[in-house]
Amino acid sequence: FGISGTNAHAIIEEAPVEDRPPTDTEPDAPAVLWPLSARSAAALPAQAERLHAFLADRPDLPPAAVARALGTRRTAFGH
């Protein structure tokens, strides 16, 4: 503290960099939402299977591109 109510600060040194190995809980890429819907509750598992088969044939498809397509190009149904 200074005189007459004046505050002063000094930075002595920067905080040390924490060098730690990545863990399984730290994703390599940010999480994205894949909205999935169907016209009925019974049709939802089949829709999920179709999406799984589609993605199995395209392992290099970016998750963000899938999210964008599912969220903007598909009709959102009640289930």
Domain ranges (residues) in the chain: 38-79
Note the pLDDT of residue 24.
64
Note the pLDDT of residue 68.
94
Q: Which amino acid is at 53?
A: A
Note the pLDDT of residue 59.
92
Which residue has tokens 């040390």?
A: 16
Using the Cα atoms of residue 43, residue 44, residue 45 and residue 46 in order, give the sign of their dihedral.
positive
Note the pLDDT of residue 22.
66
Cα gap 66→53, rounded to integer Å: 13
- pLDDT tens per residue across all 79 residues of the chain: 556 667 777 778 887 888 777 666 656 778 899 999 999 999 999 999 999 999 999 999 999 999 999 999 988 899 8
